[in-house]
């Protein structure tokens, strides 16, 4: 698994890690997700924080609870995560990129040219 | 169970080392007590556990004063930092005997856990406390605190003198015990890097006063480190709680604490970064001497 | 209450361990000088050794009780009230076994007059030493160096004097403690012990009430 950093709320990082694991196929749909206690132990973090990260994923329908057993990856979770990350890409990263381009005096045409030349 | 302290003041011949501190400690949380040297951390912990008489205010456990109340004191364990000087009587006490005395006074003492921790830390139980290194003494206080099984357990600088690996080990043990029992822990420390993610709430003391008591997550969430041209920074952060401003030529860097619903004004060319607990602490308490 | 008893029993055991070593040590010195061929072992010899051996460690441990055992007990969550009564009780408890053993030994020697009075006298001596150790303890905790000096002088005078006089008496076969059992001496001992115990208790109470735990 990945490492935690100071750059973002820990619970958000925990959520993202599990999402990344789902995208990579480390965690498959209908498989059991790590528990609050496992995450707290693994990363030496407060269980409340770990729980908050997991609850976030439950709210978004990426995980679901099975009473008395634990949390599982929802069917269609991969698709949800992809959609969410795509939206975040346009809202966040792309905006940042454009702002930085503006500061550097890079023109729109230059940007478009670069995108067209890339093998995306 | 709730441990409440109200308007707590402690003065030594007129000099106040704690001033009007009010806080409530709830069952089932890990609190961090942070503050600079001399901010009153040990005094606060001593006052909460009736180990020093207080000048004004009240400390109560579920409504009953803790002072001279054995019933309440049974629920509390204050594992002091052991600073052993040669003249201290403790220096000639064996580790084993110290833990034995502690066991007598903890009704829920877990000897199996104590032995396991002694093994994990490789503590020389037959040695005298005066012969131990600072790190080893910290481990003795950790064993006493965890094995006490007290519903409210206070640890004063438990990681002092421990290397980074032992600090990790301590926080893992703390979390393990916390998950198994839901006891309340109050941990005072200077070393915030490993502690930050473990502490659910932080209590920050500054100059004997309670600066803030808040959950770590929202404290970090509200803090931003903002840098840019001085006039841009000023304009974008006007009306916000700004700390520790530093000006270098035309640039300015400040720490901003955002309240509910507040935001840094957009439209300026600024770098806005999140902060670690250590950086937040420096921002809040580092400007003391500048005043 | 159970913790208080266990705690002070442990403390007393620390003191008693020193006392037992002292019994052995002083006993060996004394017995080495006794002329067994004449079979004239004084009935006062063992009570003397036991009383001296029990009293000296108590004087030495007094300061430790105030600078270490009381603060540690508070640090572990005891109330000041229990510390106070626990310590006072421990002084009384500590006085009983040596006096009891001396009484039993004297009971085996029908030649000794006024054995009950003498036993009472030995008990009072033990209590006196306890009261004295509590006063020394408070002084030591408050003014370290002065108290060290007092303790040194008192121990040297009391202990040294007691041992030397009795040594001399043993050598000349004149060891006797019977003066301790006399009515006047008993009264003086009882009054002194009571006054010193009270003074020790008052000083201890005052100290404990405002004590700031430091270890």
10-residue averages of pLDDT along chain A (120 residues): 77 93 92 92 91 94 91 92 92 88 89 85
Neighbours of chain B (3+ CB pairs under 8 A): A, C
Q: Which of residues 57-86 of A touch B (CB under 8 A)?
A: none
Architecture of domain A10-75: Orthogonal Bundle (1.10)
Q: Measured on CA atoms in the order C111, C117, C123, C129, is the torsion positive or negative?
A: negative
Confidence of residue B245 (pLDDT cuts 50, 70, 90): confident
Q: Is B141 part of the contact surface with chain C (CB cutoff 8 Å)?
A: no
pLDDT at B291: 41
- Chain B contact for C107, CB < 8 A? no
Sorted by where each starts, the structural domains of chain B and their CATH numbers stand as 2-207 (3.40.50.300), 219-290 (no CATH)
C9-20: average pLDDT: 83
Q: How many angstroms from the chain centroid is the CA of residue B157?
A: 8
pLDDT at C191: 92
Report C:44-73 residues touching B (Cβ under 8 A). 64, 67-69, 72-73
- Give the nearest partner residue to B269 out of A8, A11, A103, using CB atoms: A103
* Separation CA B225–CA B217 (nearest Å): 16
Flag whether pLDDT at C136 surpasses 90: no
Highest-pLDDT range among B152-156, B212-216, C165-169 = B152-156
C and A: touch, per 3+ CB pairs < 8 A?
Answer: no
Residue C173's pLDDT band, with cuts at 50, 70 and 90, is low
| ipTM of the modeled complex | 0.89
In chain B, which residues have their Cβ closer than 8 Å to the Cβ of A46?
30, 175, 197-200, 216
pLDDT digits (tens, 9 = 90+) for B96-151: 999 999 999 999 999 999 999 999 999 999 999 999 999 999 999 999 999 999 99
- Residue of chain B whose alpha carbon sits nearest to that of C77: B73
User: Which of A15, A44, A96, A103 should be substituted to probe chain B, the one whose Cβ sees the most B Cβ atoms within 10 Å?
Assistant: A44
For residue A52, the chain B residues in CB contact (below 8 A) are 217
Q: Could you tell me if C82 and C4 are in contact, meaning their C-beta atoms sit under 8 angstroms apart? A: yes
- Compute the nearest-CA separation of B112 from chain A (Å): 21
pLDDT for the residue numbered B290 = 45
The span from the CA of C76 to the CA of B74, in Å, is 9
Cα gap A117→C174, rounded to integer Å:
119
Q: Mean of the per-residue pLDDT values for chain C?
A: 82
Given a contact cutoff of 8 angstroms between Cβ atoms, the answer to whether A46 and B30 are in contact is yes
pLDDT band of C39, cuts 50, 70, 90: very low
Say if residue B226's pLDDT is above 50.
Answer: yes
Work out whether strand B184-188 and strand B152-156 pair parallel, antiparallel, or are unpaired.
parallel
Phi-psi region of B32 (alpha: psi -120 to 50; beta: other; left: phi over 0): beta
């Amino acid at each position: 698994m990945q490492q935690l950093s100071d750059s973002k709320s820990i619970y958000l990082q925990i959520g993202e890690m599990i999402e990344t694991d789902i995208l990579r196929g480390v965690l498959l749909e209908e498989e059991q997700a790590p528990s609050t206690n496992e995450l707290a132990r693994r990363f030496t973090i407060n269980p409340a924080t770990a729980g908050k990260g997991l609850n976030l994923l439950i709210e978004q329908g990426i995980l679901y609870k099975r009473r008395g057993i634990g949390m599982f990856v929802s069917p269609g979770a991969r698709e949800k995560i992809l959609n969410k990350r795509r939206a975040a890409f346009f809202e966040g990263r792309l905006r940042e990129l454009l702002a930085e381009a503006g500061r550097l005096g890079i023109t729109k045409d230059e940007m478009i040219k670069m995108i067209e030349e890339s093998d995306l | 169970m709730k441990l409440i302290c109200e308007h707590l003041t402690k003065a030594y011949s007129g000099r106040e080392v704690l001033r009007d501190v009010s806080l409530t400690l709830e069952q089932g949380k890990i609190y961090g007590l942070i503050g600079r040297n001399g901010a009153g951390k040990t005094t606060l912990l001593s006052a909460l556990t009736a180990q020093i008489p207080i000048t004004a205010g009240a400390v109560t456990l579920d409504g009953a004063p803790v002072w001279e109340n054995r019933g309440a004191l049974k629920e509390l364990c204050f594992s002091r930092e052991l600073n052993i000087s040669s003249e201290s009587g403790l220096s000639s006490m064996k580790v084993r005997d110290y833990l034995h005395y502690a066991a007598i006074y903890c009704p829920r003492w877990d000897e199996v856990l104590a032995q396991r921790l002694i093994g994990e830390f490789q503590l020389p139980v037959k040695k005298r406390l005066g012969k131990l290194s600072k790190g080893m003494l910290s481990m003795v206080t950790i064993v006493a605190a965890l094995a006490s099984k007290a519903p409210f357990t206070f640890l004063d600088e438990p990681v002092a003198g421990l290397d980074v690996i032992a600090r990790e080990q301590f926080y893992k043990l703390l979390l393990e015990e916390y998950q198994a029992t839901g006891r309340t822990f109050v941990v005072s420390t200077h070393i915030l890097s490993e502690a930050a993610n473990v502490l659910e709430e932080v209590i920050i003391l500054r100059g004997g006063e309670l600066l803030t008591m808040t959950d770590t997550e929202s404290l970090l969430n509200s803090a931003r480190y903002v840098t840019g041209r001085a006039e841009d920074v000023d304009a974008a952060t006007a009306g916000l709680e700004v700390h520790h401003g530093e000006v270098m030529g035309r640039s300015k860097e400040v720490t901003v604490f955002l309240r509910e619903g507040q935001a840094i004004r957009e439209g300026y060319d600024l770098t806005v970064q999140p902060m670690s607990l250590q950086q937040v602490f420096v921002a809040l308490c580092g400007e003391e001497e500048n005043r | 209450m159970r913790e208080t008893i266990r705690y002070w029993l442990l403390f007393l055991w620390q003191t008693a361990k020193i006392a037992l070593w002292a019994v052995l040590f002083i006993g060996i010195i004394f017995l080495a000088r006794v002329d067994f061929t004449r079979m004239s072992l004084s009935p006062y010899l063992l009570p003397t050794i036991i009383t001296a051996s029990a009293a000296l460690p108590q004087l030495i441990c007094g300061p430790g009780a105030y600078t270490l055992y009381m603060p540690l007990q508070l640090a572990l969550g005891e109330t000041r009230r229990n510390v106070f009564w626990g310590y006072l009780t421990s002084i009384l408890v500590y006085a009983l076994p040596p006096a009891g053993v001396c009484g039993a030994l004297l009971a085996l020697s029908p030649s000794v007059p006024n054995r009950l009075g003498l036993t009472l006298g030995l008990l009072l001596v033990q209590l006196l030493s306890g009261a004295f150790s509590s006063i020394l303890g408070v002084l030591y905790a408050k003014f370290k160096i002065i108290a060290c000096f007092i303790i040194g002088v008192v121990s040297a005078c009391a202990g040294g004097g007691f041992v030397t006089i009795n040594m001399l008496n043993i050598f000349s076969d004149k060891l006797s403690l019977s003066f301790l059992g006399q009515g006047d001496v008993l009264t003086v001992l009882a009054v002194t012990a009571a006054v010193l115990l009270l003074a020790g208790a008052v000083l201890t109470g005052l100290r404990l009430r405002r004590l700031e735990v430091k270890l």
